[in-house]
């Protein structure tokens, strides 16, 4: 019975410590503000890749859509640079997902991935597909 009481007291502290770490852990911009050399459209265990035919105007519109997403902010880059990385945090704990978009050779490449865990449960693919649906509606 004593272990139950101790566990009940310690568990909330562990959850609080995890949530605090996830929110304040520093981000290495060089690690996350980059794109793999060869991208192919895919749903990954820990993220997703999408590629669409698009131009600079589409990049500007997509940037506006992404910036309007709850709990999302720019980590690095700009429309002018042709590559931007965003951080979107989950509502409850604040787990960060990183999404990099790049305009290259008449295409927008989008690479979303979770920082923690072996699976993102399809969250990045769903978020990116939602952004692309919104972009198609504005086109």
Q: Stretch 58-82: mean pLDDT, rounded?
A: 98
Residue that wins the pLDDT comparison between 35 and 5: 35
The pLDDT assigned to 10 comes to 83
The pLDDT assigned to 57 comes to 96
The pLDDT assigned to 102 comes to 97
Residue by residue, DSSP assigns 62-123 as HHHHHHTSTTEEEEEEETTTTEEEEEEE-SSS--EEEEEEEEETTEEEEEEEESSSS--TTH
Tell the CATH topology of 2-138: TATA-Binding Protein (3.30.310)
Four-point Cα dihedral 78, 81, 83, 86, nearest 10? -20
Rounded Cα gap, residues 36 and 62, in angstroms = 20
Q: How confident is the model at residue 72 (pLDDT cuts 50, 70, 90)?
A: very high
H or E element in which residue 53 lies: strand 47-53
The pLDDT assigned to 1 comes to 53
Rounded Cα gap, residues 69 and 113, in angstroms = 16
| Strands, sheet with 83-89, edge to edge from the N-terminal-most edge strand | 42-44, 47-53, 107-114, 96-104, 83-89, 72-78
Which of 37-41, 47-51, 77-81 shows the lowest mean pLDDT across its residues?
37-41
H or E element in which residue 44 lies: strand 42-44
Global pTM reads: 0.90
Give the mean pLDDT of the chain.
92
Q: Stretch 86-109: mean pLDDT, rounded?
A: 95
Residues above pLDDT 90, as percent of the chain: 76
Q: Stretch 14-37: mean pLDDT, rounded?
A: 89
Q: Is the pLDDT of residue 139 over 80?
A: no
């Amino acid at each position: 019975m004593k272990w139950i009481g101790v566990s009940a007291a310690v568990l909330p502290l562990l959850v609080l410590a995890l949530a605090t770490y996830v929110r304040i852990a520093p981000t290495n911009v060089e690690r996350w503000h980059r794109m793999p050399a060869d991208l192919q459209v895919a749903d990954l265990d820990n993220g997703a890749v999408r590629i669409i035919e698009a131009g600079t105007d589409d990049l500007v519109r997509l940037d506006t859509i992404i910036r309007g997403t709850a709990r999302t902010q720019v980590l690095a880059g700009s429309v002018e640079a042709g590559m931007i990385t965003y951080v979107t945090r989950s509502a409850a704990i604040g787990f960060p997902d990183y999404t990099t978009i790049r305009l290259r050779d008449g295409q927008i490449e989008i690479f979303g991935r979770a920082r923690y865990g072996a699976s993102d449960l399809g969250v990045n693919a769903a978020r990116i597909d939602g952004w692309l649906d919104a972009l198609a509606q504005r086109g």
